[in-house]
């Protein structure tokens, strides 16, 4: 797995050097790293393909490192060749799910809500972190910036993550509207970092004065860098929001969708699955409850009405 993952990272890095159309998105085929994955037990019958989309709140390199054990696990449990499609944004991944360009994907909560409304996207499983299937949006500033509350960020620079992100865009926009301010004129300048780790880095390095990030991603970043909490601090936090789910394209048949869901829900029942969960810092995967995403739907309606 280590050798395969190193090669996978190298291939992804080369693919990401340029930009192109959705058809040119980086695709990593695990069977090209290990030819035995492409054959049946007799080395003759090719295995069907499962295209897994990664459009997470981390950089492509961090995503591949994080999800490598999961991809290997799906290979072994489903007896399918896993092709990893690295999306450059949530919007791009939604387009691939809409057209069947990927079969399943790890997407943000707002992307799921929009996909569900627009083309019948379904959630297969939701990760639980610290026994909760939710996360929050955090508004961060540097600890000694003198910015004590969100209103103090008016006229300052700010980092959003993805345009289709509840934690990285929708929540701060709702806060702006709650102040009776204009979303387009509140900040002096804004940037989109696409991933949470880059938003945290931009704030930490002084490129922006504030940032909106996912609480789970921030917690994991702080665990890797214990000094982070001494350099940055939270000045606002959303209510609990449904965690980013594993979703399935409407082009996937019901039998395969049910098989995929069973694999995720049973992941903690064997030693290999437990190791995968540990690598993801996830307690378990659980069946989705639509009510977990109601606050996101309400917030989206509020921001849309206030524009």
Backbone phi, psi, residue 80, to 5°: -130, 150
User: Which residue blocks in 79-108 are alpha helix, DSSP H?
Assistant: 90-99
pLDDT given for residue 57 in this prediction: 63
pLDDT at 146 over 90: yes
pTM as predicted: 0.81
Pairing relationship of beta strands 157-160 and 210-214 according to DSSP bridges = parallel
User: Where do the domains of the chain lie, and which CATH numbers do they carry?
Assistant: 2-132+242-299 (3.40.190.10), 137-238 (3.40.190.10)
Distances (CA, A) of 91 to 3, 134, 262: 32, 22, 27
Lowest-pLDDT range of 48-62, 125-139, 155-169, 243-257:
48-62
Q: Which of 95, 171, 104, 94 lies closest to 138 in space, CA to CA?
A: 171
Place of tokens 């996909």: 115
Taking only the tens place, the pLDDT of each residue in 156-168 is: 999 999 999 999 9
Taking only the tens place, the pLDDT of each residue in 246-276 is: 999 999 999 999 999 999 999 999 999 999 9
pLDDT given for residue 79 in this prediction: 82
- Torsion sign across C-alpha atoms 75, 279, 240, 228: negative
Q: Could you tell me the end-to-end alpha-carbon distance of the chain, in angstroms, rounded to an integer?
A: 48
């Amino acid at each position: 797995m280590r050798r395969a993952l190193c090669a996978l990272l190298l291939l992804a890095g080369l693919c990401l050097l340029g930009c192109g159309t959705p058809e040119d998105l980086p695709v990593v085929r695990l069977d090209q790293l290990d030819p035995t994955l492409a054959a049946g037990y007799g080395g003759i019958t090719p295995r069907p393909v499962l295209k897994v989309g990664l459009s997470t709140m981390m950089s492509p390199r961090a995503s591949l490192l994080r999800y490598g054990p999961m991809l290997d696990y799906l290979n072994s449990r489903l007896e399918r060749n896993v092709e990893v499609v690295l999306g450059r944004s949530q919007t791009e991944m939604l387009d691939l799910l809409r057209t069947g360009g990927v079969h399943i994907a790890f997407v943000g909560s707002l992307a799921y809500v929009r996909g569900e409304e627009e083309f019948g996207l379904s959630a297969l499983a939701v990760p639980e972190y610290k026994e909760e299937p939710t996360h929050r949006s955090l508004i961060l500033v540097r600890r000694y910036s003198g910015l004590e509350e969100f209103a103090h960020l008016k006229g300052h620079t700010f980092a959003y993550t993805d345009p289709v992100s509840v934690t990285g865009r929708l929540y701060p926009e709702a806060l702006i509207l709650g102040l009776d301010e204009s979303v387009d004129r509140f900040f002096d300048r804004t940037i989109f970092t696409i991933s949470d780790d880059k938003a945290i880095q931009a704030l930490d390095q002084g490129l922006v004065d504030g940032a909106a990030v996912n609480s789970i991603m921030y917690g994991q970043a702080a665990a890797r860098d214990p000094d982070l909490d001494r350099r940055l601090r939270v000045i606002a936090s959303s209510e609990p929001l449904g965690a980013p789910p594993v979703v399935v394209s409407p082009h996937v048949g019901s039998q395969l969708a049910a098989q995929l869901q069973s694999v995720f829900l049973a992941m903690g029942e064997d030693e290999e699955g437990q190791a995968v969960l540990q690598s993801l810092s996830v307690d378990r995967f659980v069946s989705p409850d639509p009510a977990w995403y109601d606050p996101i739907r309400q917030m989206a309606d509020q921001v849309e009405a206030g524009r």
